[in-house]
């Protein structure tokens, strides 16, 4: 068997968070050998809890968009609907914000916040297959709900995520994404914020902007570009085949995405997901928006972006024992494979 072009065994450090990953490709498969050729079965519409909101036992919608992207009532011809999660991980609050309860070694805070589901109308077509206009409506719902929830003084961070496929934790097959509003800034985001702030203090530039400039010069981890966005596999990824999407223009907050910008972002998001599907087949993946916290200022040093993590491996003893991820595919190999399918 021909040796992988980008064979490497080395520890790499993330320039933003300081985290280490171990790239060890000697025992790994070549990128094309990861492709899944069998598509998962589609759940019948009659069994879908999102087709009929009331029959599915779901609460009334908090946002409904029609084909034009207008906010409408639930009785209208909707294309995207946002509802409270039937089984939320956080509880809504009555206007009283949670406070930290510190009792010696035990520190806690009430699990208040919001947990919502963003549902697209079509039962079968997910983001990579639906018309781009439908993708734009999902992105608009993300932005609009983030803007609305950020007015809640009890919320510090709003996360938009999508679990696609059973292996990624999706319990309902109908295409949907989720929104989690937290009373704290989550640790992973806090590490990125602290790292980007420290870099800015030392160099007076945005670390993510410098990374993008470096990657465009190196030309080994770039998957593709549009006029407004750059798509790449990170130098020290969180998972094999991870893809990140960055706006080329420095922006710290996803909520600032304009109505016009929604269309260009939806285009590159769909193109990235289609590239993954053409490259890897019916892969499960986790996707999320990393953005600045809400209700605070002073995050101009940060750069919002999307992270897409296909599920091709599981963590084992090394990862749990050291906190160091072991990756069997080098990001350079992943990018080379993706570029063949970037259309």
Whether residue 228 is predicted with pLDDT greater than 50 in this model: the reply is: yes
**Residue 210: pLDDT band by 50, 70, 90 thresholds?**
very high
Tens digits of per-residue pLDDT, 309-328? 998 766 666 767 877 888 98
Domain ranges of the chain: 9-38+186-339, 59-182
Residue 37 has pLDDT above 80, yes or no: no
Tell me what pLDDT residue 28 has.
59
Instruction: Give backbone dihedrals phi and psi of 274, rounded to 5 degrees, phi first.
Output: -65, -35
CATH 3.30.428.10 given to domain 59-182:
yes
pLDDT (mean) for 130-154: 95
Question: How many CA atoms are closer than 13 Å to the CA of 305, on its beta-carbon side?
Answer: 26
Residues 6+ apart with CB under 8 A from 321: none
CATH code for the domain defined by 9-38+186-339: 3.30.428.10
Separation of alpha carbons 28 and 12, rounded Å: 17
Q: To 5 degrees, how large is the angle CA 112–CA 114–CA 116? A: 155
For residues 159 and 179, is the Cβ–Cβ distance under 8 A? yes
For 231-265, the pLDDT digits (tens) are 999 999 999 999 999 999 999 999 999 999 999 99
The 10s digit of each residue's pLDDT in 163-201 is 988 778 777 778 889 999 999 999 999 999 999 999 999
pLDDT band (50, 70, 90) for residue 3: very low
**Are 84 and 142 a contacting pair, CB within 8 Å?**
no
pTM of the model: 0.91
Tokens of 60: 């009334």
The arrangement of strands across the sheet holding 9-13 comes to: 9-13, 20-24, 325-327
């Amino acid at each position: 068997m021909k040796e992988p072009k980008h064979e490497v065994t080395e520890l790499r450090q993330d320039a933003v968070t300081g985290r280490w990953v171990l790239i060890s490709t000697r025992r790994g498969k070549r990128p094309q050998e990861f492709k899944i050729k069998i598509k998962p079965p589609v759940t019948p519409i009659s069994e879908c809890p999102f087709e009929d909101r009331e029959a599915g036992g779901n609460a009334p919608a908090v946002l409904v968009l029609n084909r034009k992207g207008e906010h409408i009532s639930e009785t209208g011809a909707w294309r995207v609907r946002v509802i409270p999660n039937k089984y939320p991980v956080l509880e809504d609050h009555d206007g009283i914000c949670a406070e930290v309860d510190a009792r010696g070694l035990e520190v806690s805070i009430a699990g208040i916040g919001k947990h919502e589901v963003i549902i697209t109308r079509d039962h079968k077509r997910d983001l990579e297959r639906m018309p781009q206009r439908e993708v734009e409506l999902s992105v608009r719902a993300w932005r609009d709900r983030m803007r609305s929830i950020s007015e809640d003084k009890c919320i510090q961070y709003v996360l938009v995520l999508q679990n696609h496929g059973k292996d990624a934790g999706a319990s309902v097959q109908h295409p949907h994404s989720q929104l989690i509003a937290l009373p704290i800034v989550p640790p992973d985001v806090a590490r990125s914020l602290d790292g980007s702030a420290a870099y800015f203090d030392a160099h007076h530039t945005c670390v993510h902007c410098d990374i993008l400039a470096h990657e465009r010069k190196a030309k080994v981890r770039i998957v593709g570009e549009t006029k407004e966005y750059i798509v790449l596999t990170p130098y020290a990824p969180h998972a094999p085949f991870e893809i990140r999407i960055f706006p080329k223009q420095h922006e710290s907050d996803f909520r600032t995405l304009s109505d016009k910008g929604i269309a260009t972002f939806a285009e590159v998001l769909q193109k990235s997901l289609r590239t993954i599907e053409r490259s890897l087949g019916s892969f499960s993946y986790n996707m999320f928006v990393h953005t600045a916290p809400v209700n605070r200022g002073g995050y101009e040093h940060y750069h919002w972006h999307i992270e897409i993590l296909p599920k091709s491996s599981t963590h084992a003893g090394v990862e749990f024992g050291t906190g160091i991820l072991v990756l069997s595919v080098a990001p350079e190999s992943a990018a080379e494979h993706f570029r063949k399918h970037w259309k």
